Amino acid sequence: MPDALRSVNPATGTAFGEPIPATDTAARRTEAARAAAPALAAMRPAERASLLRAVAAALTAREDAIVALADAESGLGEARLRGELARTTGQFEQYGAHAETGAPLDIVIDHAAPRTTPPRPDLRRWNVPLGPVAVYAASNFPLGFGVAGTDTAAALAAGCPVVAKAHDSQPATAALLAETVTAAIEQHGADPRAFAVVTGFQAGLDLIRDPAIKAAAFTGSISGGRALAAEAAARPEPIPFFGELGSLNPVVATPEALAQRGGALAEEFATSMTLGSGQFCTKPGLLFLPEGHGLEEALAEAVRAKQVHPMLNRRIREAYLAETAGLAAHPAARSLLEPVPGGEAHAVTPALIAAPAAAIDGDRTLLRECFGPAALVLTYADIAELERVLPQLPGGLTGAVHLATSADPVARAVLPLLAERSGRVIVNGWPTGVAVTHAQHHGGPWPATTNARHTSVGPASIDRFLRPVAYQSTPEALLPEALHEDNPLSLQRRVDGALER
């Protein structure tokens, strides 16, 4: 039998609660998800929206218990986790509302045109669910990207059952979320087998290999994502794998911006960089400043003053200390602020390392993500140097520039370069904080994600778990209801090239 998992308080390093048995096999849950798939797929959009609202209401009803347990396992703080749960329930509601319009179905009808050359048949296309989806929970957002987070909301909105792999750092939180979501689905009158959770390393591997699973979503490390992506590709029937892996999130401050508000930028950077102990996928890991900026002391002081939570687990803490030591040991680097292990079990202090931008020109040694409250301050000589080094950065979720005016020559040169390497470009702002909106894109070129075309945040994330099917010259009696001529479900669609509501 697999080993049981224990909850550990990051602040004390002490295990608490009853052991959570690791799943001996994922097959029972994946087969149940396969059995639940047809009924979930057959739901009308309005029915599916109602189901997602029921899940949101159930999570809200158990807010106190969920937040308390998530805080005990993550150390992220009650205020942060209440906000995260509100964001999560808001996603369920928003994705449900989007599904209700029929927009994810992308219904397109082209009527027959027998007099065209060549004659055109009647064609009707819509999107259908892929089938059961494997969701791999992240530790740094136990509610927003956990077993009942954005990937689960998107998959259910698409009509796909979910089998989620709990993160080993939060097994009890995952169990409580599983109980809450499953009960909500059952009370709504839907098949409770549409959602399940597995725990343990082997169960996670079994999940990606299981033939009942038709797609997978993952948020985590580059190494973990690569391993799972390889498993997804090596299956007899390969499946789509949507991984969010790593990002440096470069921020460029122009000389004009520094002259205008240099002190404020130092404080804002310190706040963003240490938010959540730097355990955000959108943490600004690279700060580009012009030579002679004179902000080193202000940056070090601003970062030093920030109180950071303990790291999520011992492994992450040890990796953080090793990574910062490795970066500081680079011949061109020097420490502005050295990290030290904190007095508490998984606690650390922030780190800040300086180097010339020329050090990354043709050398990727410094261009690796350090998960935690650490960042690299790179000084650039001129626009030409930025134009040379920015294209060498690995793909990222975000890229930001701080400017004084829209005529700023450095900003004009930098913006298109950041757009080439990022999924979201930010002006006079910071990458932490990801709005859940229709226009949001939380993705980017490798290694930020395994598929830069898709987002894992916002209603567009539903699209990952759908595929198109076209019906040609099919009698209406045999068509899905959503493709009927009179639009009985009042769904959004495009008919003969024109959008209808």
Strands 162-165 and 107-110: unpaired
**pLDDT at residue number 444:** 97
Residues 6+ apart with CB under 8 A from 38: none
In the chain, where the domains are located: 27-245+451-467, 250-427
Q: Which of 93, 244, 323, 385 is catalytic?
A: 244
Asked whether the domain spanning 250-427 has the same topology as the one spanning 27-245+451-467, the reply is: no
- The answer to whether 205 and 230 are in contact (CB under 8 A) is no
> CA distances (Å), 294 to each of 82, 300, 336, 389, in order?
39, 12, 13, 22
Residues 6+ apart with CB under 8 A from 30: 132, 163, 207, 210, 212, 213
Q: What are 208's two structure tokens?
A: 């990606």
Q: Outline where 75-165 has alpha helix (H).
A: 78-101, 150-158
Question: How far, in Å, CA of 292 to CA of 398, rounded?
Answer: 26
pLDDT level of residue 1 (50, 70, 90 thresholds):
very low
Tell me the pTM.
0.95
Residue 244 annotated as catalytic: yes
**pLDDT at residue number 2:** 59
Query: How many other C-beta atoms can be found within 10 angstroms of the C-beta atom of residue 312?
Result: 27
**pLDDT at residue number 4:** 87
Q: Write the pLDDT tens digit of every residue in 271-297.
A: 999 999 999 999 999 999 999 999 999
In the 8-state DSSP scheme, what is residue 121?
Answer: -
* pLDDT(214) > 50: yes
- The answer to whether 378 and 356 are in contact (CB under 8 A) is yes
pLDDT level of residue 345 (50, 70, 90 thresholds):
confident
Question: How far, in Å, CA of 493 to CA of 483, rounded?
Answer: 9
Q: Write the pLDDT tens digit of every residue in 427-473.
A: 999 999 999 999 999 999 999 999 999 999 999 999 999 999 999 99
Architecture of domain 250-427: 3-Layer(aba) Sandwich (3.40)
Listed in order, strand segments (DSSP E) in 271-343 are 286-290, 334-337
Q: Which of 84, 93, 231, 281 is catalytic?
A: 281
**Amino acid code (one letter) for 77:** G
In the 8-state DSSP scheme, what is residue 2?
Answer: P
Residue 500 annotated as catalytic: no
Q: Write the pLDDT tens digit of every residue in 234-269.
A: 999 999 999 999 999 999 999 999 999 999 999 999
Domain 27-245+451-467 falls in which CATH fold? Aldehyde Dehydrogenase; Chain A, domain 1 (3.40.605)
Which DSSP string corresponds to 150-205? HHHHHHHHHT--EEEEPPTT-HHHHHHHHHHHHHHHHHTTS-GGGEEEE-SHHHHH
**What is the separation of C-alpha 264 from the centre of its chain, rounded to a whole number of angstroms?**
29
Q: Write the pLDDT tens digit of every residue in 358-393.
A: 999 999 999 999 999 999 999 999 999 999 999 999
Of all residues in the chain, the percent with pLDDT exceeding 90 is 95
Q: What is the mean pLDDT of residues 80-100?
A: 97
Question: How far, in Å, CA of 397 to CA of 452, rounded?
Answer: 9
Question: How far, in Å, CA of 120 to CA of 325, rounded?
Answer: 66
Q: What is the mean pLDDT of the chain?
A: 96
- The answer to whether 37 and 132 are in contact (CB under 8 A) is yes
CA dihedral 393, 395, 397, 400 (to 10 degrees): 30
